[in-house]
Amino acid sequence: MYRFLFSSKWLGYLLLAAIFATACVLLGRWQMDRRAETLAEINRVVSNYSATPIPFADARNQFIKLDADREWTQVELHGRYDEAGQRIVRNRPLNGQPGYEVVVPFKLDSGDTVVIDRGWLPIGNKTPGSPDSVPAPPTGEVTVVARLKHSEPELQRGAPDGQLASIDLAAYSSQLGYPLLTGAYGQLASETPPVADMPVGFPKPSTEEGTHLSYSLQWFAFGVLMFVGFGYAARQQARNAAIDAEDAETQAAEGAYLHASNPAPRRHAVPRKRKTATAEEEEDAILDAQGF
């Protein structure tokens, strides 16, 4: 019944179904990988974001090379801002709005220097390509609580003087002319003493899982449904073939029955031609008809 499945046509259909299902599985696994990354980020935020700050002495190695699990850890720092080394970072959107971030070197009492991202500024209206004003950091001795963030990669694009294309700490250090700890920077949580004019603070990262799980399940379901559709089409083809065969047998049986019930009529003998009557016979026939 299903021998047609071995035809080139149906083998081609099966191959297409297998390719489509494989693509669905790969897309589903990609969504699952993204979900795993999102869950790991959520776990870091939940564990580290609001935890008690640790002293710089315990976090110094993280500023050299940041472990992924220690991202968002709060660190307490004591030192002074180097306002002359302040830069703004280009192309930093926040809540859908374009803008900049303000980074400043922070010279610690220990002699090390780290970078603090003090917040976000909107695009200015006075000077194209820069904010209208950049708030100055507090002067003198400052206590900063900052959250650890990874150094960013170098971007293959330039930036105007006083600006950075990304928070690439190695490139920033080369601009300053003195060494920075380049494994991580700090995203400002608080500073003491505070100043009145501040950049916009960063919102807490989202702890919503998102739609990765539902998307992955949908892709897996699409892959299964492709084979379900192939099986349904094959079943319909087999069913239609069976119906056609049954109809052919019925028509053949009806034809045989009609042939048996109505045999072919016998051929009648062709009547022989009669002889042409003579004149006397015609005359006798006329007299007979008249009663003589």
Closest CA to 90 of 173, 34, 159, 41: 159
Residue 235 has pLDDT above 80, yes or no: yes
The pLDDT of residue 290 is 52
179-207: pLDDT as tens digits: 999 999 999 999 999 999 999 999 998 88
Are the C-beta atoms of residues 53 and 192 closer than 8 Å to each other? no
Instruction: Specify the amino acid at residue 186.
Output: G
Closest CA to 174 of 194, 154, 157: 154
Give SS3 for 99: strand
132-180: pLDDT as tens digits: 899 999 999 999 999 999 999 988 787 888 899 999 999 999 999 999 9
Is residue 141, in this structure, part of any structural domain at all? yes
Is residue 123, in this structure, part of any structural domain at all? yes
Is residue 70, in this structure, part of any structural domain at all? yes
- Range of the structural domain that residue 100 is part of: 53-192
Secondary structure, 3-state, 51-84? CCCEEHHHHHHHHHCCCHHHCCCEEEEEEEECHH
Is residue 115, in this structure, part of any structural domain at all? yes
Residue 267 has pLDDT above 60, yes or no: no
User: For the chain, how big is the Rg over CA atoms in Å?
Assistant: 47
Helix axes 8-48, 212-261, angle to 10 degrees: 160
Is residue 147, in this structure, part of any structural domain at all? yes
More confident residue, 208 or 28: 28
Is residue 132, in this structure, part of any structural domain at all? yes
Token digits for 86? Answer: 């302040």
Provide the domain count of the chain.
1
